A and B are shown apart, each in its own frame.
Chain A
Amino acid sequence: MKSKTSFFKALSAVVWKDLVAELRGKEMLSAMMVFALLVIFIFNFALELDPKTRNALTAGIIWVTLTFSGTLGLNRSMAVEKDRGCLDGLLLAPVDRTAIYFGKSIANWVFMLITAAILLPVYSILYNTNLFSWGLVLVILLGSEGYVAVGTLLSSMSIQARTRDILLPILLFPVIIPVLIAAVKATGGFLAGETFSSLTTWIYLLIGYDVIFTSVAFMVFDAVVEE
């Protein structure tokens, strides 16, 4: 059982390293947050969000905002590793590579959830509605998991390319569309007050996509980081 404990040790070490570094600097989270707010403001004027149209669009706006600020975070979290030479250090360390993948994914996931946890209340205040429901929380958990599962894998590739900053969204968005469709549909359903049982199709789809994307990303991650 020794290898198992060391796997979880390595994994939690990677997660902690990211979270502590971020708590000290708060560069990434603040950038994601400000960016998310700006996107909402731009949407407000671009789409003239009066109450009638807004209800139909809220789900889409939430996910577009999360997606865009998510790429910001993914790019940043990998760029930091690369530029400070941490990635090489991590890879030289005698730990399971997949522990690094899951560690980075979980850290990215946490950052996305923090962004969502601030974005949604702010949105509620700005438009004087109550978005909160447990269903929505579940959808955001599942949707962002699928997003970071692929995003972490692809950002660790894009960061090693010459065109690194512009490459990630181009690689990530077409692949992640199924997750986004399911997430937007489920979010829209919960916001419209539909019951959980009427939205199970989308929830199951989200779970299925999460499982597929996470397992594939985890299987091929070795190939991305090997030198």
Chain B
Amino acid sequence: MKDKPKLLTVLDGVTLVTFLAATAMVFFYAPTERVMGAVQKVFYFHVAAGWVGMVSFFVAAVVGVIYLIKKSPNMDLIGIAAVEIGIIFTLINIVTGAIWARPIWNAWWTWDPRLTTATIMELVYIAYLMLRQGIDDPERRARFGAVYAIVGFLSVPLTFFSIRIFRTIHPVVIGGSDPSAVGAFDMTPKMFQTLMFSIVVFSILFIDLIWHRVRLGKFQNYLEELKIKLQV
């Protein structure tokens, strides 16, 4: 396989440094919230991970559309990479949310619209992986993956609207609407800066990971072709 591109090595370094910086910011720059204490620090990466999860699945749906039009195998590699990474980050989002909710809402789990939608979304993309696993022909696997990524991503906002009609107790921190929600808090400027920086850092991490995963996928495909050549 071709050598690692220089730009990727640079990106790895940038990711590592900024990630450490963000962690330091979370612990030492952002003030500890008065009521909730230390657990509130999870919030920055919780939101950032949720953001990366949504972006990943959006990317998977977009490259799905492009794949169906252009049939380029690279699009499929980006698609599977994005879904894998999306699953990891959505999982981080859900689990850290539960850990935060335990002391604040006094329950690991509530049937809150965002929480429920995030989990259903996670299930959609686990189903996506299972669909791909069941299909041997790579071209068909890519096609079906693209179709399911599109349909799945479409259903996520619909699920959210459906559940949203019930009352939500999730604190809306950005563009807050309901100050009575338990666990809502006013962000100080330092908190806000930390949050924004965390989101930027997680986005960089996302690009870095997707690049590595796409390279892995290319390597896989290359070996598959090599195997077929050797068999003939």
Contact = CB atoms under 8 A, between A and B. Distances in A.
Contact, chains A and B (beta carbon distance below 8 A): yes
Interface stretch (B73-81, B123-131, B187-195): B123-131
Contacts of B102: none
Nearest to A157: B144
Contact of B124 (A174, A209, A212, A217): A174
A171 B130 CA distance: 9
A201 B140 CA distance: 40
Interface string A7-40: 0000000000000000000000000000000000
Nearest to B132: A161
Contacts of A201: 165
Given A157-B148, A220-B150, A178 B68 contact: no
B134 A163 contact: yes
Nearest to B165: A201
A162 interface: yes
B151 A154 contact: yes
Interface string B137-180: 00010011011101110110011011101000000000000000
A215 to B, nearest CB: 10
B202 to A, nearest CB: 25
A8 B123 CA distance: 37
B162 to A, nearest CB: 4
A153 B151 contact: yes
Interface in A170-227: 170-171, 174-178, 181-182, 185, 201, 205, 209, 212-213, 216-217, 220, 223-224, 226
B136 interface: yes
B130 A163 contact: yes
Interface string A82-113: 00000000000000000000000000000000
A182 B162 contact: yes
A223 B146 contact: yes
B151 A216 contact: yes
Nearest to A181: B162
A180 to B, nearest CB: 9
A182 B166 CA distance: 12
A79 interface: no
Please list the 7 inter-chain residue pairs (A to B) with the smallest Cβ-Cβ separation, ordered nearest first: A161-B134, A178-B158, A181-B162, A178-B162, A163-B134, A174-B123, A175-B155
